[in-house]
Chain A
Amino acid sequence: MLRKTFMAAAIVACTAAPLLAAGDVDPQADFKAFRKYFTERFPKVPLNDFVNGPYSMDEGLRKQWKAIDEFPPYEFAVEQGKQMFATPFKNGKSYADCFPNKGIGIRQMYPMFDTKTGKVVTLELAVNQCREANGEKPFDMAKDDMAAITAYMAFTSRGKPFDIKIPDDPRALAAYKKGEEYFYSRRGQLNFSCASCHVQNPGNHIRTEVLAPALGITAALPIYRSAWGGMGTTTRRFQTCNAQVRGEPLPAGDEDYSAVEYFLSYMSNGLPISGPGARP
């Protein structure tokens, strides 16, 4: 019965609180509050170190990460991505023709809101859109080819600060709001939201793993996880997070995934790209 009373109280609280119509969200205000929350809660963590996820939270793990990152296993993916980037499509064109600055050093601008289609375009969607525009089959967004090419593109952007833009377009604001809603909504039988772990519990353990802070959490993607024994794209990471809380993962390319990445990367504006990353 607790659940019923809690919900009733919540509804009352909602209406009594300053009327926050569900429609309006204020990205700039959210950004300031989000940044303030993490910097005040973890005063000893330098701002740019948040992009190192669990390693900004735990000395023991950081030491192991440093040992692995000295010659990390994602080097093969970066090498493969570099070769894929240089190999022209059957029609002679290549990825360089699809992306600003020939695709080099631009990962920090994605996800990008496309005012023509009114949709959020993540780096992974952009790669597939480029392939399809040139008559090639799109990659499976959770598999190694996509991980290799995005690993190379991330590698060429290392150190560049996130620069995610929300244009003055109601559809962009709606996408941002959708991402924020996804991030804060509880799901799965374990009834957790992304925030339950990455806002309320960064630095705490879920068995051996240490939870990463949400601030800067997309900067290291794609990642080579020892647990997977291989590379993982942003899509694969979101899907496994869903499954961990016993929520059914969404299909690759789902707009909710693009929206939550849009929200998260916007929250990390100014923080440097650290991908591809090595993680437990």
Chain B
Amino acid sequence: MRKTMVLAAALSLVAVTTAAFAASADDAKAALAKAEAAMKQAHALKNEWTTTAAEFKKAKAAADAGKFDDAVKLAGEAEALANASVAQAKEQEKLWPEAVVR
């Protein structure tokens, strides 16, 4: 799990640095929307992480304060966490029978 999360977080960082120097309001809004979509998916699987919501809150605060670079970075992290929790839920749906005491 830690691997996919780090991988996903790293990917989103790379995307940010190659973008225009300063992220714009639209970049921030787009990043927040992507994060929110991933979070909805995690919610649907009833497997959200508390840290996802915490990152998303910071991202929104940064966007509201006009710090769009931070907002995009933090939204990326929230999205990565949400995606990791989705992957966890899907993986566990297959794996749990193996853990059962037999």
Q: Do chains A and B touch in the complex (CB under 8 A)?
A: yes
Is residue A87 contacting chain B, with contact meaning CB distance below 8 A?
no
Is residue B100 contacting chain A, with contact meaning CB distance below 8 A?
yes
Residue on A nearest B42 in the bound complex, by CB: A248
Evaluate contact between A33 and B101: CB separation under 8 angstroms. yes
Evaluate contact between A189 and B81: CB separation under 8 angstroms. yes
Evaluate contact between B3 and A186: CB separation under 8 angstroms. no
C-alpha gap A180/B96 in the complex (Å): 9
Evaluate contact between A184 and B99: CB separation under 8 angstroms. yes
Evaluate contact between A247 and B48: CB separation under 8 angstroms. yes
Interface segment out of the listed B15-23, B30-38, B61-69, B86-94: B86-94
Q: Which residues of A contact B53 (CB under 8 A)?
A: 248
Evaluate contact between B94 and A247: CB separation under 8 angstroms. no
Task: Choose from A3, A7, A22 the contact partner of B97 (Cβ within 8 Å).
Answer: A22
Evaluate contact between A2 and B3: CB separation under 8 angstroms. yes
C-alpha gap A184/B85 in the complex (Å): 16
Interface segment out of the listed A9-17, A50-58, A65-73: A9-17
The contact size tier of chain B is 20 to 34
Interface residues as binary, B47-82 with A (CB distance below 8 Å gives 1, 0 otherwise): 111111100000000000000000000000000010
C-alpha gap A33/B100 in the complex (Å): 9
Evaluate contact between A247 and B101: CB separation under 8 angstroms. no
Evaluate contact between A10 and B95: CB separation under 8 angstroms. yes
Evaluate contact between A256 and B46: CB separation under 8 angstroms. yes
C-alpha gap A13/B102 in the complex (Å): 16
Q: Which residues of A contact B46 (CB under 8 A)?
A: 250, 254, 256
Q: Which residues of B contact A250 (CB under 8 A)?
A: 46
C-alpha gap A195/B92 in the complex (Å): 13
Evaluate contact between B50 and A7: CB separation under 8 angstroms. no
Task: Choose from B4, B51, B92, B93 the contact partner of A189 (Cβ within 8 Å).
Answer: B51
C-alpha gap A2/B4 in the complex (Å): 10
Shortest distance in angstroms between B62's beta carbon and chain A's nearest beta carbon? 21
Q: Which residues of A contact B48 (CB under 8 A)?
A: 247-248
C-alpha gap A181/B99 in the complex (Å): 10
Residue on B nearest A247 in the bound complex, by CB: B49
Q: Which residues of A contact B49 (CB under 8 A)?
A: 188-189, 246-248
Evaluate contact between B88 and A246: CB separation under 8 angstroms. no
Q: Which residues of B contact A37 (CB under 8 A)?
A: 101
Residue on B nearest A246 in the bound complex, by CB: B50
Given contacts A3-B1, A3-B3, contact A187 B47 (CB under 8 A): yes
Q: Which residues of B contact A140 (CB under 8 A)?
A: none
Is residue A139 contacting chain B, with contact meaning CB distance below 8 A?
no
Evaluate contact between B98 and A195: CB separation under 8 angstroms. no
Given contacts A11-B94, A246-B50, A248-B48, contact A187 B88 (CB under 8 A): yes
Evaluate contact between B94 and A14: CB separation under 8 angstroms. yes
Task: Choose from B3, B51, B97, B100 the contact partner of A246 (Cβ within 8 Å).
Answer: B51
C-alpha gap A1/B3 in the complex (Å): 7
A3-B3, A3-B4 given; 8 more Cβ-contact pairs under 8 Å: A7-B91, A30-B101, A185-B96, A188-B49, A189-B49, A247-B48, A248-B47, A248-B53
List 10 tightest A-B contacts by C-beta distance, closest first.
A248-B48, A185-B92, A184-B99, A184-B96, A189-B49, A185-B96, A37-B101, A246-B50, A3-B3, A191-B1
| Chain B residues in the interface with A (C-beta under 8 A) | 1, 3-4, 46-53, 81, 84-85, 88-89, 91-102
CB pairs A–B below 8 angstroms (6 shown): A3-B4, A37-B101, A180-B100, A188-B50, A195-B99, A248-B50
